[in-house]
């Protein structure tokens, strides 16, 4: 990852922060974006690589996504990779009143992934190289009860990733998504205080997988939905 340029979205979140730290430690240059600019201010100073931040970004807005890519090109001169960690989770049954939840999760998970992918692809296509990694989830493959909206939104991320991979294979652009288990974060611990955390996955472990998928070593992997449910 030495000197590679990567956009990390959702960088003020627990997973996004771990991804930023992992990439910087590997020598990458990172543009970290987030909806909350205050959260970006707390990112650790890089020991190697270069960190730039861009706050007040709504990935559901194509104009904001274009602004992210333009800022990256103006700052670093290119964009080699995208690590998109933006998303949300909620549950509810299929019912007339559930449409609002469905729309909200499709906006948070699927629309954001589409919009930032569409914004970053032209620069990668012109360069003839690129890596895109989205965060999906296992319910995107098979939904459980009360997961219809969440599962549908994550299934859309998986299908989007597959389409990007198929459309850009000959341009040396890869697209993959990961399917994390429950991530061991302070937020999840507060939300599920009585849960068995023995099978939870650390944000750092997922960040290492994302770093690999962004690297030159992962050039043969594209269009994949990769489970991330193992232990450190």
pLDDT digits (tens, 9 = 90+) for 157-167: 999 999 999 99
Give the count of domains, the chain.
1
Give the integer Cα–Cα distance in Å for 111 and 105: 9
- Is residue 188 over pLDDT 70? no
Encode pLDDT of 7-53 as tens digits: 999 999 989 999 999 999 999 999 999 988 777 887 866 777 899 99
pTM of the model: 0.94
Give the pLDDT mean for 200-204.
85
- Contact between 86 and 10 under an 8 Å Cβ cutoff? The reply is yes
Domain limits for position 97: 5-228
CATH code, domain with 64: 3.40.50.720
CB atoms under 10 Å from CB of 8, counted, come to 33
């Amino acid at each position: 990852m030495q000197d590679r340029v990567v956009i990390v979205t959702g960088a003020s979140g627990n997973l996004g922060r771990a991804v930023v730290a992992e990439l910087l430690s590997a020598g990458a240059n990172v543009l970290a974006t987030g909806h909350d600019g205050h959260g970006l201010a707390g990112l650790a100073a890089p020991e190697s690589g270069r960190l730039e931040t861009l706050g007040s970004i709504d990935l559901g807005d194509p104009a904001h996504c274009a602004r992210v890519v333009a800022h990256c090109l103006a700052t670093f001169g290119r964009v080699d990779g995208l690590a998109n960690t933006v998303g949300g989770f909620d549950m509810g049954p299929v019912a007339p009143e559930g449409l609002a939840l469905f729309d909200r999760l499709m906006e948070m998970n699927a629309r954001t992934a589409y919009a930032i992918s569409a914004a970053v692809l032209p620069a990668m296509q012109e360069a003839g190289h690129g890596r895109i990694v989205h965060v999906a989830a296992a319910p995107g493959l098979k939904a459980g009860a009360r997961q219809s909206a969440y599962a549908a939104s994550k299934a859309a991320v998986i299908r989007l990733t597959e389409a990007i991979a198929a459309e850009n294979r000959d341009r040396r652009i890869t697209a993959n998504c990961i399917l994390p288990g429950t991530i061991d974060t302070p937020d999840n611990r507060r939300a599920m205080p009585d849960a068995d955390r023995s099978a939870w996955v650390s944000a750092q472990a997922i960040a290492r997988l994302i770093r690999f998928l962004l690297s030159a070593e992962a050039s043969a992997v594209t269009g994949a939905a990769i489970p991330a449910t193992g232990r450190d």
